[in-house]
């Protein structure tokens, strides 16, 4: 009898991908439980999100305890958002089947590399991603389900969040800036940047690593400076889900983030900040490392977005996108079909159905 699915939650930002599927499993009488790892300052956020959604959780002391826990877990499936914290050889000693729901759909090489691990199935987004993965790993099982994280948007489950709740002006157009942590465009925008955007609301949704890792203290200093402006609201770690801000925004700025594909799926204009701050170990003779980190999929951003090569070009790009949001609409729809997949709001249902059928 199919009784339980475990969701391995290595990071807080896996939850928006997991929760729609867990809710559908629960509706079908299948118990879902979340396996958490301690993250300083984030544990309370995870606990509240999971309990508010009506689920239980268990903590592991650290990732080194994962194999022993899963080896003895009474579950039919374990769902991961990235490579498991144990080896492929150890996987053979785990009774449960393992599934991968990659936590993002961005242009980083790791999107494809994680499939080297012998998952029993990987749920993927779109026929192009399916083709590439099947070609690269012909012995693996891939199923095109679409990206479950976006289901609430396509099911018209609008967030209760309003611009006025953020202290922003509902009469102004809203710009969402959602940069990744590395390589990032953050350092290229000056502390006074919001002063040039007074005609707009600016919502800044940092990557969770920018807000939590010591090496990105400079990011937090910049966010603090921007937050002093009346037209700016900066999300904290408690605001782990990008979807409510995507629904509020008229245009989005991003760099090497999967958020570009996600926002384009809403058929809204995206500005690609194609300028990055990189570490010394990614520069000069070592710049090949950056190319290795970024998959060739990033070239699709040229078709999908309005590209800017420096921070000074962002403001006119915003004005252009707001004046003509229909620009690149056909390209958005075409690329969303291939890189994001189905947008019918049933992605989570397909995943839940597969897990149930193949238990």
Is 213 in the same domain as 171?
yes
Rounded CA-CA distance 271/312 in Å is 13
Give residue-wise pLDDT tens across range 170-222.
999 999 999 988 788 999 999 999 999 999 999 999 998 899 889 999 999 99
CB atoms near residue 83 (< 10 Å): 17
Rounded CA-CA distance 120/274 in Å is 37
Residue 294 is predicted with a pLDDT of 47
Tell me if 285 is assigned to some domain.
Answer: yes
State the pLDDT confidence band at 296, using cuts at 50, 70 and 90.
Answer: low
> For the residues 59-83, what does the mean pLDDT come to?
95
Tell me if 152 is assigned to some domain.
Answer: no
Is 37 in the same domain as 61?
yes
Is 195 in the same domain as 335?
yes
Distances (CA, A) of 264 to 55, 149, 180, 200: 31, 14, 16, 20
CB of 74 closer than 8 Å to CB of 54: no
Torsion of CA 157, 161, 162, 165, to 10 degrees: 170
Is 216 in the same domain as 346?
no
Give residue-wise pLDDT tens across range 114-130.
999 999 999 999 888 89
Strands 270-273, 251-254: pairing is: parallel
Rounded CA-CA distance 187/210 in Å is 12
> For the residues 136-142, what does the mean pLDDT come to?
96
Is 205 in the same domain as 347?
no
Residue 168 maps to which CATH number?
Answer: 3.40.50.2000
Least confident segment among 111-120, 274-283, 296-305, 313-322 = 274-283
Residue 267 domain boundaries: 163-339
Is 129 in the same domain as 176?
no
Rounded CA-CA distance 72/219 in Å is 41
Structural domain count, the chain? 2
Is 327 in the same domain as 209?
yes
CB atoms near residue 336 (< 10 Å): 23
Tell me if 156 is assigned to some domain.
Answer: no
Give residue-wise pLDDT tens across range 209-266.
899 889 999 999 999 999 999 999 999 999 999 999 999 999 999 987 778 888 988 9
Could you give the count of Cα atoms lying within 13 Å of 311 in the half-sphere of its Cβ? Answer: 16
CB of 2 closer than 8 Å to CB of 356: yes
Rounded CA-CA distance 175/200 in Å is 7
State the pLDDT confidence band at 108, using cuts at 50, 70 and 90.
Answer: low
Is 81 in the same domain as 126?
yes
> For the residues 140-169, what does the mean pLDDT come to?
93
CB of 278 closer than 8 Å to CB of 290: yes
Rounded CA-CA distance 249/289 in Å is 33
> For the residues 94-101, what does the mean pLDDT come to?
97
State the pLDDT confidence band at 84, using cuts at 50, 70 and 90.
Answer: very high
Number of helical (H) and strand (E) elements in the chain, helices listed first: 16, 13
Is 273 in the same domain as 348?
no
The mean predicted confidence, pLDDT, of the chain is 90
- The fraction of the chain above a pLDDT of 70, given in percent, is 92
């Amino acid at each position: 009898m199919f009784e339980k699915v475990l969701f391995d939650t290595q990071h807080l930002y896996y939850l928006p991908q997991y929760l729609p599927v867990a809710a559908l499993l629960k509706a079908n009488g299948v118990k879902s439980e979340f396996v958490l790892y301690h993250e300083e300052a984030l544990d309370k956020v995870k606990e509240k999100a999971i309990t508010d959604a009506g689920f239980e959780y268990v903590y592991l002391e650290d990732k080194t305890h994962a194999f022993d826990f899963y080896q003895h877990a009474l579950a039919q499936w374990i769902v991961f958002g990235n490579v498991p914290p144990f080896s492929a050889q150890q996987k053979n000693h785990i009774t449960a089947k393992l599934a991968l729901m990659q936590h993002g759909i961005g242009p980083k090489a790791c999107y494809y590399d994680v499939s080297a691990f012998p998952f029993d199935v990987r749920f993927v987004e779109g026929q192009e991603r399916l083709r590439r993965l099947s070609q690269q790993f012909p012995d693996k099982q891939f199923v095109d389900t679409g990206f479950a994280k976006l289901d609430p948007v396509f099911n018209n489950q609008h967030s209760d969040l309003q611009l006025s709740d953020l202290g922003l002006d509902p009469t102004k157009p809203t710009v969402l800036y959602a940069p990744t942590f590395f390589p990032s465009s953050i350092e290229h925008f000056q502390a006074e940047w919001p002063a040039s955007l007074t005609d707009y609301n600016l919502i800044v949704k940092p990557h969770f690593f920018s807000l939590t890792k010591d090496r990105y203290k400079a990011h937090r200093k910049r966010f603090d400076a921007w937050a002093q402006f009346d037209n700016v609201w900066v999300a904290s770690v408690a605001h782990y889900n990008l979807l409510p801000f995507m629904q509020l925004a008229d245009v989005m700025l991003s760099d090497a983030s999967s958020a570009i594909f996600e926002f384009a799926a809403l058929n809204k204009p995206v500005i690609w900040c194609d300028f990055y701050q990189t570490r010394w170990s990614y520069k000069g003779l070592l710049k090949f490392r950056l190319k290795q980190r970024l998959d060739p999929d990033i070239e699709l951003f040229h078709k999908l977005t309005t590209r800017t090569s420096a921070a000074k070009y962002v403001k006119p790009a915003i004005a252009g996108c707001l004046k003509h949001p229909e620009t690149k609409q056909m390209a958005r729809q075409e690329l969303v079909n291939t890189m994001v997949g189905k947008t019918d709001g049933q992605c989570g249902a397909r995943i839940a159905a597969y897990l149930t059928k193949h238990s």
